[in-house]
Amino acid sequence: MADTTKTATLTLDGKTYELPVLKGTIGPDVIDIRKLYGEADVFTYDPGFTSTAATDSAITYIDGDKGELLYRGYPIEQLADQSHYLEVCYLLLYGELPDKAQMADFEMRVTKHTMVHEQMQYFFRGFRRDAHPMATMVGVVGAMSAFYHDSTDISDPWQREVAAIRMIAKLPTIAAMAYKYSVGQPFVYPKNALSYAGNFLNMCFAVPAEDYVVNPILEKAMDRIMMLHADHEQNASTSTVRLAGSSGANPFACIAAGIACLWGPAHGGANQACLEMLKEIGTVDRIPEYIAKAKDKNSGFRLMGFGHRVYKNFDPRAKVMKESADEVLDLLGIHNNPLLQVAKELERIALSDEYFISKKLYPNVDFYSGIILEAMGFPTSMFTPIFAISRTVGWISQWKEMIADPTQKIGRPRQLYIGQTRRDYQDVTSR
Ligand code: ACO
């Protein structure tokens, strides 16, 4: 974070305050208000953090107006086209692309950590079979801190590193176990010979009774979904992980908090909500009814998979995901699927409708990822767990960055109090 000589001046009650203006490497300047309360006795007000930077970070950059997403400076389109998920994990965690030896070592470390403690399966068995896999994941990932005591000391950089590798490696295993449990099939152990994405597909779709061969196109599509979701700077779940971590909570507890936040339909839960909406619409002729509902503020209905807090131009991840969706549907020979027809027509109408154009509401990444995952055979309840697997590396990279920062403080927002002023307690007989 480079300080500039630029300052902003605030005038309040006849007094002026000089506020330093900080400059990042790219992106808008940031007015530093850290001393404002001490000097002027006022807070700033920004619910939803629409204008507030809560941290500096060197991991991910988004330009929402241009529709640009960079991981450590590399454009997402280039990574999605030329890289693979574990290389992106390395990049996010350590800041640079690995050489061959570094990549091989990282892959080996992740692969050797994919099994979970055998005792953990009893945890799964404690849940109802119809539990949402996200509910199971919040519980089981939180419980990792009860199983891996040797990587919970956050003051030890080596333990932080081991916790990071463990979570990247074990999240697919945990998500697949949650799925297998929900469909009443035996858990499938990880296989070291498979790729990260291939192993996940195998753990979800293999059964002991017959061999499962991972289809390379589906494996590539899954790897891409993972790359595109790997990080997205200070979104709600990442900020949750940082806030939980700022109190010194152990990394497994912090990631469990991130998973809980991701679950909401305004965030990672949107991919499930979007597919359910497409099913509810059902046929192309009903789209105008739903478009009208989305425009009507009183209906409380929103087109799921449309809009984004930061992207006010096409979500660059959505462009790549759309290509992947076409590839997967082609491979699987799905052309006349009614769900897909509804999705395509909805996209066409929304992109040409004045309401959506003027509010800059474009299809987001979740609009297309749901279509791919449905075609692969995942139930909608697994969509958000797959997002959680993919985002784990982003959460843990951001958490590590925060913990390593010597100026890090506990996160503690302030408030504008609008409740009762001081009043005296009345005995129940006189109320
Ligand atoms: N359908 C209809 N109208 C919408 C939609 C939508 N999907 N999204 C936003 N709007 C409208 C709002 O009603 C609002 O209108 P107004 O200005 O007349 O009041 C305007 O667009 C701006 O919306 P906000 O809610 O202020 O935008 P915000 O940045 O807070 O919300 C969000 C972004 C939560 C993503 C929103 O667009 C939404 O709810 N989308 C649907 C859920 C979704 O797809 N979420 C996934 C996000 S991507 C991700 O997590 C990977």
Query: Please, which residues bridge with residue 8 across strands?
Result: 19
Say if residue 247 is exposed, middle or buried (CB neighbours under 10 Å; 0-12, 13-18, 19+): exposed
* Ligand 1 and 302: CB distance under 6 A: yes
In this predicted model, what pLDDT tens digit does every residue of 65-78 receive, in sequence order?
A: 899 999 999 999 99
Q: Is a pLDDT exceeding 80 seen at residue 2? A: no
Could you identify the atom of ligand 1 that is nearest to the CA of residue 359?
Answer: 21
Q: Which of 267, 291, 359 to mutate to test the pocket of ligand 1 (most atoms within 8 A of CB)?
A: 359
231 lines ligand 1 (CB under 6 A): no
Return the residue whose CA atom lies nearest to atom 30 of ligand 1. Answer: 309
Q: How far is the CA of 167 from the centre of ligand 1 (A)?
A: 31
Q: In this predicted structure, what is the pLDDT of residue 92?
A: 98
What is the structure's pLDDT at 1? 59
- DSSP lists the bridge partners of residue 9 as 18
User: Which of the residues 84, 366, 424, 427 is marked catalytic?
Assistant: 366
**What average pLDDT does this structure show over 106-130?**
95
- φ and ψ at 180, to 5 degrees? -60, -40
- Count of C-beta atoms within a 10 Å radius of residue 328: 23
Q: Is 33 in the pocket of ligand 1 (CB under 6 A)?
A: no
CB 234 within 8 A of CB 57: yes
Q: What is the DSSP letter of 150?
A: G
pLDDT for the residue numbered 280: 93
pLDDT value for 257: 98
Task: Return the CA Rg of the chain.
Answer: 23
Query: What's the pLDDT score for residue 310?
Result: 86
> Band of the pLDDT at 46, cuts 50, 70, 90?
very high
Whole-model pTM over 0.85: yes
Pocket test for ligand 1, best of 233, 234, 237, 308 (most atoms within 8 A of CB): 308
Whether the CA torsion 334, 335, 338, 340 is positive or negative: it is: positive
Indicate whether 19 pLDDT > 70.
Answer: yes
Measured from the Cβ of residue 354, the count of other Cβ atoms closer than 10 Å reads 8
What type of residue sits at position 215?
N
- Residue 366 catalytic? yes
* DSSP assignment string, 322-387: HHHHHHHHHHTT--S-HHHHHHHHHHHHHHH-HHHHHTT--B-HHHHHHHHHHHHT--GGGHHHHH
Distances in whole angstroms, Cα of residue 402 to Cα of each of 58, 160, 179, 398, 399 = 11, 12, 32, 6, 5
Our answer on whether the CB atom of 305 is closer than 6 Å to any ligand 1 atom is yes
Catalytic residue selected from 308, 326, 335, 427: 308
Minimum CA distance residue for ligand 1 atom 13:
297
Atom of ligand 1 nearest to the CA of 310: 29
pLDDT one-digit tens code per residue, 165-185: 999 999 999 999 999 999 999
- How many whole angstroms from 63 Cα to the centroid of ligand 1? 18
Question: Is 306 close to ligand 1, i.e. is its CB under 6 Å away?
Answer: yes
pLDDT score at 3: 58
Residue 307 CB less than 6 A away from ligand 1: yes
Measure the CA–CA gap between 218 and 285, rounded to whole angstroms: 31
Residues 6+ away with beta carbon under 8 Å from 52: 44, 46
- Please indicate whether residue 361, judged by its CB atom, sits closer than 6 Å to ligand 1: yes
Residue 372 has pLDDT above 70, yes or no: yes
Residue 167 corresponds to which amino acid? M
CB of 267 shorter than 6 A to ligand 1? yes
**Per-residue pLDDT reduced to its tens digit, 187-229:** 999 999 999 999 999 999 999 999 899 999 899 999 999 999 9
Of 89, 96, 95, residue with least CA distance to 110: 89
- pLDDT, position 272: 86
Q: What's the CA gap between 69 and 374, in Å, rounded?
A: 26
In the predicted model, is pLDDT for residue 4 greater than 70? no
